[in-house]
Amino acid sequence: MKLRFDFNNMMTAYVGENGINESEIADLEAQIEKAEKAMVEKRTNGGMDWRELPYNQAEVVSDIKSYVESVKDDFDAFVVLGIGGSALGPIAVQQAINHPYYNELSKEKRGGYPKLYVMDNVDPEKLVSLFNIIDLDKTLFNVITKSGSTSETMSQFMIIKEMLEEKLGKEESKKHIVCTTDVKNGNLRPIADTEGYKSFVIPAGVGGRFSELTPVGLLPAAMCGIDIEELLAGAAYMDEMCKTDNTFKNPASMYAILNYISMKKGKNISVIMPYADSLKYIGDWYAQLWAESLGKKYDNDKNVVNSGQTPVRALGATDQHSQVQLYSEGPKDKVIVFVGVDKYKTSLDIPKIYGDIPSLGFLGGETHNKLIKTEQMATEYALLKSGQTNMTITLPEVNEFTLGQILYLFEVATGFAGELLNINAFDQPGVEEGKNATYAMFGRPGYDEKKAELDKRPAK
């Protein structure tokens, strides 16, 4: 069950002058070596604790599994309150593994697990609408926040805590809240401890968008019947694949190097296009990881440089009828990443009818599986022909093991790309600026200076 990475269509030999020459990779030898060394050093000395997650969580996994077993019968719905790195992974994994209409299945058909809802916005209409369809008595809320202070998540928690206590009383409502947060920092940890909520820990050295393989993602996944040990085993398998010194055989290094060279040539858009509905939300998760990690401003001695690629989410075959015209004939400022699947979870035959209409009858007797695969190959070809650089990641099947591989692949590739760009891939000053401005505008104590700075902005 090994994921495959095909980057032929990135190379000049295949795609023509818009592609990359092997000599361009050879020219980067010193920079690549430096990046490899930095990756090893950070892994050893701290700074990339997420790399160890596939190996160091036996106790966490066991705690999660026994907690899930002890509560799953009591609840019909499991609601995640989180945003960004505390929401996108849980959505992506659940959508990839479970039935596409999971929430609409009976509890029995869901394997006895509750429905999953992820509230990752503060749009009042959305949360109020959720209250129209869930029964508080039968709902467990998972508050996920690494910092323990994010306004969106904490305000949702405040609303729900009060609703629960009004309806069920303080003691009973404790059973309806489980927290996932830092071991000591932030507001949520002391709240969880004081109120007596069950809680899980996000390891200190693991940042939001790299936290899917911590309880951030593992608890919601296990709560929906997903095999979290297989997810971690897949990540460990990919880790092994990423250990080779042969750069051309190392999927994470190659992914990063090819995108790095592309960025240097002005290809500042990274399109992720899975050919499977189940993988659509992997695109959302990837978008945050790639954008927030690599979109950075840095000084290169002479001037300020802005790095990063803008991620675009597309879905095959749907977006063939929406975006592919642009990818084919529009500006050559993109790298298209196809994500394909060899074996879909089901097979669907197209009936052998309309044989008398040759322009329709040719579909009869085939399968949707063959059609979507062929469309993917045809789109890859169309882009190749037009000189649009593209690469393909193929999952033999979408299951926990292959999903663990692709998540870990993208994480390592992001770390490696950060080293090549010589930026800190693990901070997010631009996001913090917005968070701080919100605090200042909302009158949070300690933000007077920021408020004064904001008040000087041009009036609209």
Q: Which residue has the tokens 């305000």?
A: 155
Catalytic residue among 59, 125, 321, 456: 321
| CB-CB contact of 87 with 75 (8 Å) | no
Which residue is closest to ligand PA5 by CB?
Answer: 208
Least distance (Å) between residue 142 CB and ligand PA5? 12
Specify the residue, 31 or 438, whose C-beta has the smaller distance to ligand PA5.
438
Q: Is 111 one of the binding residues for ligand PA5 (CB under 6 A)?
A: no
The secondary structure of 74-143 as a DSSP string is G-SEEEEE--GGGTHHHHHHHHHHS-TTGGGS-TTTTTTPPEEEEE----HHHHHHHHHH--GGGEEEEE
The amino acid at residue 332 is K
Task: Give yes or no: 321 in active site.
Answer: yes
| CB-CB contact of 373 with 340 (8 Å) | yes
Greatest Cα pair distance, the chain, in angstroms, is 77
Residues listed for the chain: 460
Task: Give yes or no: 292 in active site.
Answer: yes
Task: Give yes or no: 460 in active site.
Answer: no
Least distance (Å) between residue 426 CB and ligand PA5? 8
Q: Is 146 one of the binding residues for ligand PA5 (CB under 6 A)?
A: yes
Specify the residue, 290 or 416, whose C-beta has the smaller distance to ligand PA5.
290
Q: Is 147 one of the binding residues for ligand PA5 (CB under 6 A)?
A: yes
Q: For residues 250 and 34, what is the distance between their CA atoms, to the nearest angstrom?
A: 16
Q: Give the interface segment with ligand PA5, choosing from 140-148, 278-286, 333-341, 364-372 (CB under 6 A).
A: 140-148
Residues between 206 and 265 with contacts to ligand PA5, criterion CB under 6 A? 207-209
**CA proximity to 58, closest of 312, 245, 228:** 228
Q: Is 180 one of the binding residues for ligand PA5 (CB under 6 A)?
A: no
Least distance (Å) between residue 45 CB and ligand PA5? 21
Residue 177 in tokens:
């809240």
Q: For residues 378 and 395, what is the distance between their CA atoms, to the nearest angstrom?
A: 18
Specify the residue, 204 or 431, whose C-beta has the smaller distance to ligand PA5.
431
Q: For residues 362 and 354, what is the distance between their CA atoms, to the nearest angstrom?
A: 9
Catalytic residue among 212, 292, 380, 400: 292
Residues between 45 and 84 with contacts to ligand PA5, criterion CB under 6 A? 83-84
The residue from 378, 431, 441, 452 that contacts ligand PA5 (CB under 6 A) is 431
Specify the residue, 72 or 146, whose C-beta has the smaller distance to ligand PA5.
146
Catalytic residue among 65, 198, 368, 435: 435
| CB-CB contact of 384 with 327 (8 Å) | no
State which H helix or E strand residue 434 sits in.
Answer: helix 429-441
Specify the residue, 7 or 290, whose C-beta has the smaller distance to ligand PA5.
290
Q: Is 199 one of the binding residues for ligand PA5 (CB under 6 A)?
A: no
Residues between 284 and 323 with contacts to ligand PA5, criterion CB under 6 A? 292
Q: Give the interface segment with ligand PA5, choosing from 33-41, 147-155, 232-240, 416-424 (CB under 6 A).
A: 147-155
Crossing angle between the packed helical segments 88-97 and 280-294, to the nearest 10 degrees: 150
Specify the residue, 262 or 288, whose C-beta has the smaller distance to ligand PA5.
288
The secondary structure of 145-191 as a DSSP string is ESSS--HHHHHHHHHHHHHHHHHH-HHHHGGGEEEEE-SSSSSHHHH
Residues between 85 and 104 with contacts to ligand PA5, criterion CB under 6 A? 85-86
Number of residues that bind ligand PA5 (CB under 6 A): 15
Least distance (Å) between residue 151 CB and ligand PA5? 9
Q: Interior CA angle at 81 toward 76 and 84, to 5°?
A: 135
Q: For residues 28 and 36, what is the distance between their CA atoms, to the nearest angstrom?
A: 12
The residue from 94, 95, 139, 150 that contacts ligand PA5 (CB under 6 A) is 150
Q: Give the interface segment with ligand PA5, choosing from 202-210, 259-267, 343-351, 355-363 (CB under 6 A).
A: 202-210
- Chain contacts with ligand PA5 (rule: CB under 6 A): 83-86, 145-147, 150, 153, 207-209, 292, 428, 431
Positions marked catalytic: 292, 321, 435
